[in-house]
Amino acid sequence: MITAPRDAAALKGEIAAMREKVRAAHPIPDGRFDVKHSAGGMVDAEFAMQFLVLSQAAAHPELADNVGNIALLQRAESAGLLPPGVGAAAASAYRELRRVQHRARLNEEPTQVAPEVLAAERDAVLALCRAVFG
């Protein structure tokens, strides 16, 4: 059950280990930013949100709704689980990363770009990860 009590420290360790397994399975060439798998990409936002939902949904039932990561990031910030602006910035970044991913797939292009192209989005997701995981 999504609202089951969990040991936050153990959960944080499990999620970090899962994230590293996913990262190792999707190596990124040097000098490229993959919108999904690079540090600061979509997967980082998804894992951070997964931790917040699993660790906080019992106390914050608004996180248990299946409304998608963008809405959940905004809800987590509204609930005081993220510093002011971090959830909104990460939600905006996630939306843009997803848009870039969809466009690339529709055009049969790679989902990797030069790092500076999505630096603001990467930085917003990295700030989310720091706020959630320390």
Distance (Å, rounded) from C-alpha 32 to C-alpha 51?
A: 27
Q: How do residues 33-84 score in pLDDT, each as one tens digit? A: 999 999 999 999 999 999 999 999 999 999 999 999 999 999 999 999 999 9
Residue 1 falls inside a structural domain:
no
Residue 3 falls inside a structural domain:
no
Q: Report pLDDT for 125.
A: 98
**In sequence order, what are the residues at sequence separation of 6 or more whose Cβ sits closer than 8 angstroms to the Cβ of residue 111?**
34, 35, 36, 100, 101, 104, 105
Give the other-Cβ count within 10 Å of 6's Cβ.
16
Closest C-alpha among 103, 105, 77 to residue 89? 77
pTM of whole model > 0.85? yes
Residue 95 falls inside a structural domain:
yes
Please give the tally of structural domains in the chain.
1
| CATH number of the domain that residue 129 is part of | 1.20.120.330
Closest C-alpha among 53, 116, 102, 13 to residue 45? 53
Domain that holds residue 47: 8-133
